[in-house]
Amino acid sequence: MSKIETKDVNLYYGDFQALKNISMQMEEHTVTALIGPSGCGKSTYLRLFNRMNDLIDNVKIEGEVFVEDENIYQKGVNVDELRMKVGMVFQKPNPFPKSIFENVAYGLRVNGINDKHIVEETVVRSLKQAALWEEVDDKLHKSAFELSGGQQQRLCIARALAISPSIVLMDEPASALDPISTAKIEELIHELKKEYTIVIVTHNMQQAGRVSDFTGFFYIGELIEFGRTVDIFTSPVKKQTENYITGRFG
């Protein structure tokens, strides 16, 4: 069973067609990397799965987008519930101006979960899953802004995990981080896929090679090639893919 899938998706920003006939399936407990040059539609495609493109004016979508076999663009879909199922981490760490504890607890509180024990348990679990617990367990009530960039990003991951999503979308999660923090995030992704399905947009092809099971190469709104990462990086089928991953263009 594919966890998430698109069938013949076209997306327009006004007259501009940003995605052209994209069909792709992503299986459960896998990491799929989306690569391609700037402006090729990777982030637009990523935002399909939690309907973040709804927040942009003049967006039109054709085709079908499935999350766990449900077409999420049909009438009657509860977008708030969808966004609990599909978490997201952005390029720039964006902790709330709150304590470390309250950052992670926020998602629970806005969904009406205020039981002290449940909140505490969930915060601890999420911080452990995000490999941050040992660095913050003695300062949970300090401001999140006191953390380093890498720690803030892991806090954002913990915040996304606290509401128990089954899918996590990551839009260049390590591009603003130093190499050590990047390595920690990558190891974390490797651990998280045991419990979650992850889709990651990255400009860093070496990162795509290191962390993902499958890779989709996008170019000017089209999905040029999709396959196992090991095949894409050792013997890509399309010449365009080969040219991109070897740095000959893009």
Partner 1 sequence: MTHLETELSNLRLELNEMWALVISQVKESQAALLNFDKEAAAEVLFKEKMVDVFELKLYRDCENIIALYNPVASDLRLTLAIIKIVLNLERIGDFAKGIAKFVDKSPRDKINPELLKVSHAEELLTSALAMLTDAKTALDNENSRMAISIFAKDSLIDEITRGANKFIGDYIIQYPTEVDEALNIHNIIRKIERMGDHCNNIAEEIVFYVEAKVLKHNKAARK
Query: Closer to partner 1 at the Cβ: 79 or 230?
Result: 230
Q: Which of 64, 68, 135, 186 binds partner 1 (CB under 8 A)?
A: 186
Task: Kindly state whether residue 229 participates in binding partner 1, applying the rule CB under 8 A.
Answer: yes
Q: How far is the CB of 217 from partner 1 (least distance, A)?
A: 15
Q: Which of 69, 187, 237, 246 binds partner 1 (CB under 8 A)?
A: 187
Task: Kindly state whether residue 206 participates in binding partner 1, applying the rule CB under 8 A.
Answer: yes
Bridge partners for 217 per DSSP = 35, 225
Query: Closer to partner 1 at the Cβ: 56 or 237?
Result: 237
Q: Which of residues 126-165 bind partner 1 (CB under 8 A)?
A: none
Q: Which stretch binds partner 1 (CB under 8 A): 29-37, 126-134, 162-170, 183-191?
A: 183-191
Contact 67, 28 (CB under 8 A): no
Q: Are strands 214-219 and 222-228 parallel, antiparallel or unpaired?
A: antiparallel
Tell me, by CB under 8 A, how many residues bind partner 1. 11
Q: How far is the CB of 173 from partner 1 (least distance, A)?
A: 16
Contact 32, 198 (CB under 8 A): yes
Helical segments of the chain, H only: 42-46, 79-85, 100-110, 116-129, 133-136, 149-162, 179-192, 205-211, 229-234, 239-245
Packed helices 149-162 and 116-129: angle between N→C axes, nearest 10 degrees: 130
Task: Kindly state whether residue 213 participates in binding partner 1, applying the rule CB under 8 A.
Answer: no
**What residues line the site for partner 1 (CB under 8 A)?**
183, 186-187, 190, 206, 209-210, 229-230, 233-234
